[in-house]
Structure 1
Amino acid sequence: MTEQSPLDLAEDDPFGPHNLPYGVFTTADEPERPRLGVRYGNHVLDAGAAARALGSPHAGLLEQPGLNPLLAAGRTVWHEVRSALTAWLTAPAHRAVIEPLLHPLDAVAMRLPYEVADYVDFYASEHHALNVGRMFRPDGDPLTPNWKHLPIGYHGRSGTIVVSGTDVVRPRGQRKGPADPAPVFGPTTKLDIEAEVAFLVGAPSEPGRPAALGDFRDHVFGLSLLNDWSARDIQAWEYVPLGPFLGKSFATSVSAWVTPLEALEAARADPPARDAEPLPYLDDSAEDEKGGFDLRITVAVNGHVIAEPPFATMYWTAAQQLAHMTVNGASLRTGDLYASGTVSGSEVHQRGSLLELTWNGRDPLELPEGQRTFLEDGDVVTMTAWAPGPDGVRIGLGEVTGRIAPAL
């Protein structure tokens, strides 16, 4: 019986030719040589080796150990490279060259696929913001006065962004409960998750020149899942008056795979109706394309599904976030990463954080291994997602997973 070629995928494979996400991998025989790869089914194509073997004019970009040179090359090159990869993986004439350059996914190690420049995290889900406001401001308006006028965000720490599969060490810090006479120091007791989507900037911008809504595709290369780990007790004590700091900066996990925007045409969606008219630089009512993305996220703890947050419900779009992030003249750099903020829907099972799912510990989750209000050491959190693709197929997003290690 002839063994099936890794090039012969089922038509409904979520990582087929309609997807082609980028990553960086190493092999067991060359663990110190990172290579740019493209996922195809359950295999990874050595993109640089393929480009060299087939005489591609973009071989120099694809033979790099990371994505940043390709990111910086801009939208025209992104399209040309994607078109070439599609042809290499699907045209019968290339099979003899391409087939030996495919590595089984379970035989490679994945790296963080790009060098992160700056990291910004937003707060764009109205459902999440309402839940948090109702929890901590029960006698007032759950939304702050500015929330529906601008995408709220904070500048995070790029140096602690880690690739999926990296253990997350429980952070230590100051915390002070309502009944504590003074702050105490120690490991967080309220370690949480935040199911988010990250957008990766490719082409940079000049200082002083804001990116308009219509510039989104010229600057943003693709997206991936992100888990913004959060120490809620440390965060609660430190965040007034300047906002998140040590409660967030210890680790942020991102998928090893970046899905190009070009793969997500069928997943574009209208954002929810807004009841406040945004200022002109954020007004997308006259834009030619839909600003949202229909991404279906699943969150599991120790293999048990706890939430299914829908990204299509996000109030502020990625294009609006990019416009707001640069409206003061701040420039974009290749490798800038900005995240959506926690994705939550209107239903309880659509909430993208344990803070919301357990209502700050009041309503524990029942898992096979016992109750959870927040994460315990040894817990493994995995986020997966898919999006509608062409002709009814699904586009798979690379998972992001992390295990909680005890505090040092």
Structure 2
Amino acid sequence: MALQSWLPVPKGSHFSLANLPFGIISNSKLRTPRPAIAIGEDALDLSDFAKNGGFSELPSIKDHIGVFSERSLNSFAALGRPVHREVRSYLQSILSIATPYPSLLKDNQALKESSILSLKDVTTHLPLEIGDYTDFFAGVNHAFNIGTLFRGPENALQPNYTHLPVAYHGRASSVVVSGTPIHRPYGQIIVDPAATPKVPTFTPCRRLDIELEMGMFVCKGNKMGKRIGVNSAEDSIFGYVLMNDWSARDVQMWEYVPLGPFNAKNFGTTISAWVVLADALEPFRVTGLENKTTLQEYLRQEQKESVFDIALEVDLTIMCLAKSMEAANGNTTTITRTNACNLLWSFPQMLAHHAVSGCTMRVGDLLGSGTISGTESGTQGSLLEQIQGGKVALKLNHGEERKFLQDGDTISIRGVAGQDENSLVGFGSCVGRIDPAIPF
């Protein structure tokens, strides 16, 4: 039976009582960003909740109550998964229709009057301060599809792909919260690939793409020189977000040899505003894609159900720049439907590999999964795959077509786990609009 709250939670809400994702909010009355949880169409302001004695029945958090007044979730994350679990369980009991703390709510009307805010009246911010951001390449279907475009199916995957989680270091300063516009980037591109010699042109990107990903935040680091064991790495995982790693494909083609992506990736990465705690996704564990390679011992994970059954969708909305980012007006096409289980490598494996050299991981570090694609048409997580490298156009509603993104296009990613519409565990949305390049 689904958990029920005394707060109204619409059927089909991503933010059921079974979820309670954490984020950072502000509003017109108090512009200082502070922690909150989302439930239904509301947010529970944890700073106000704490000041009004909301945690009085949870004495174990007494010495750490200040974490709910900070501008990010880093300090809360650093308390560790046992504390995250205890706080989330306590908040579920407070918000439950069958709460064991009826007197707390009855005698403290301020908890309801000032701590509960409508989501439509709050502004969301980056949930954590991100020190480092690393993007992996764990979506094997995407890797195969892209490799096939450039090297043929026989050589689609590089020889190392099934032996280790491939990744590149991204730019943490360019990670933005859902709703932040992304300016079309400039870069060097080769206009005529057949020309000899190849002479680049400096211009706004002409082949702007998306990458549908999941992101994971670290809550427990390691000292330099020490490793993180793959079978204990779950203790280092705070929670998960949706991610769009925007990609300038033409810039990437010219710059990536020999050291990999740089300006093609560093201009913007969008994440969803609400962090779904790792414990909230435990019921949705499934087995990932089979890796037939014999792995090095440090990557051998005992937990076979190491990824999550999360339904993912991507919408492309055509709109004028003057319109709201959320305004669809019938010009929205769902271009991708896939699932987060389409990964060859799990996040514990990514984390273990990242630290195996002795690399220091820190609270707030962000790891991306890489593009998540299925094997069927309409399940690919990038436009480059869907248009077969530019050979075909993507058909949109009302006769429109796209190969790559145009100015004014908006990408919205959604992700949700569960079948019971009264107890869904979802992420809300991860939204970004493409604005024109800033003139030099």
Same fold (TM over 0.5): yes
8 A contact 2:24–2:127 mirrored in 1: yes
Q: Which amino acid letter does the alignment assign opposite residue 16 of structure 1?
A: S
- Aligned equivalent of 2:59: none
Equivalent residues in 2 for 1:165-314, closer than 5 Å:
165-176=179-190, 177-180=192-195, 181-284=198-301, 287-288=302-303, 290-302=305-317, 303-314=332-343
- Equivalent residue pairs, number: 401
Paired residue for 2:70?
A: 64
Q: Choose from 151, 175, 185 the match for 1:161.
A: 175
The one of 413, 424, 427 equivalent to 1:394 is 424
Contact 1:266 / 1:389 at 8 angstroms: preserved in 2? no
Matched with 2:410 is: 380
1:88: how far off? 2.2
Out of 149, 172, 178, the position equivalent to 2:163 is 149
1:99 aligns with 2:112: yes
Aligned to 2:15: 15
Distance in 2 separating the partners of 1:390 and 1:368: 30
CA separation of 1:308 and 1:391: change in aligned 2, threshold 3 A: closer
Three-state SS of the structure 1 residue aligned to 2:264 is: helix
Q: CA deviation at 1:15?
A: 1.0
Q: Partners in 1 of 2:269 and 2:392 — Cα distance?
A: 26
- Percent same amino acid among aligned pairs? 38
Q: Within 1, Cα distance between the matches of 2:122 and 2:293? A: 49
- Rounded to whole Å, the distance in 2 between the matches of 1:283 and 1:78 is 27
Asked if structure 1 preserves the Cα contact closer than 8 Å seen for 2:186 and 2:202, the reply is: yes
The equivalent residue for 1:407 is 437
Give the match for residue 27 of structure 2.
27
Map of 1:351 onto structure 2:
380
CA contact (8 A) 1:294 1:312 kept: yes
SS at match of 2:33: strand
Compare 261-270 and 132-141 and name the one that shifted more: 132-141
State the partner residue of 2:36. Answer: 37
State the partner residue of 1:89: 95
Cα separation, partners in 2 of 1:12 and 1:106, compared to 1, 3 Å: closer
Deviates more, 1:311-320 or 1:70-79: 70-79
Structure 2: state its 5+ residue gaps.
56-61, 318-331
TM-score (ref. length: structure 1): 0.94
| Paired amino acid for 1:243 | G
Q: Which amino acid aligns with 1:123?
A: F
Query: How many angstroms apart in 2 are the aligned matches of 1:139 and 1:386?
Result: 32
Match among 114, 123, 135 for residue 109 of structure 1? 123
Whether the aligned pair in 2 keeps the contact of 1:52 and 1:59 (CA below 8 Å) is no
Mapped partners of 2:28, 2:396: distance in 1: 36
Instruction: Check conservation: 2:13, 2:424, Cα contact below 8 A.
Output: yes
For residues 344 and 274 of structure 1, what CA distance do their matches in structure 2 show? 16
Residue ranges of structure 1 left out of the alignment (5+ in a row)? none
Q: Within 5 Å, which residues of 2 pair with 1:307-326?
A: 307-326=336-355
Give the aligned partner of residue 371 of structure 1. Answer: 401
Note the alpha carbon deviations across 1:103-140, whole angstroms, 9 max, x for none.
11111111111100100000011110110111011275
Cα gap change, 1:227 to 1:341, in 2 (>3 Å): same
Residues of 2 paired with 1:202 and 1:139: CA distance? 39
Residue identity in the other structure for 2:74: N
Per-residue deviation, 1:205: 1.3
Post-superposition Cα deviations, 1:37-85, rounded to whole Å, max 9, x if no partner, equal: 1001011110121122226314211121210110111122212221222
Give the stretch that moved more between structures: 173-182 or 346-355. Answer: 173-182
Q: How far did 1:212 drift?
A: 0.9
Deviation at 1:262, TM superposition (A): 0.6
**Structure 1 residues 366 and 231, CA, compared in 2 at 3 Å: closer, same or farther?**
same
Give the secondary-structure state (helix, strand or coil) at the position aligned to 2:227: coil
Alpha-carbon deviation of 1:398? 2.5
Distance across 1 between alignment mates of 2:11 and 2:421: 10
Structure 2 residue 360 is the aligned partner of structure 1 residue 331: yes
Structure 1 SS opposite 2:165: coil
Deviation at 1:99, TM superposition (A): 2.1
How many angstroms apart in 2 are the aligned matches of 1:73 and 1:384? 29
Q: C-alpha offsets along residues 142-184 of structure 1, whole Å, 9 cap, x if unaligned? A: 1100000000000110000000000000000001141344110
| Alpha-carbon contact 2:17-2:423 (below 8 Å) kept | no
Q: Which aligned pairs between 1:114-153 and structure 2 lie closer than 5 A?
A: 114-138=128-152, 140-153=154-167
Deviation at 1:29, TM superposition (A): 2.3
2:16–2:423 CA contact under 8 A, matched in 1? no
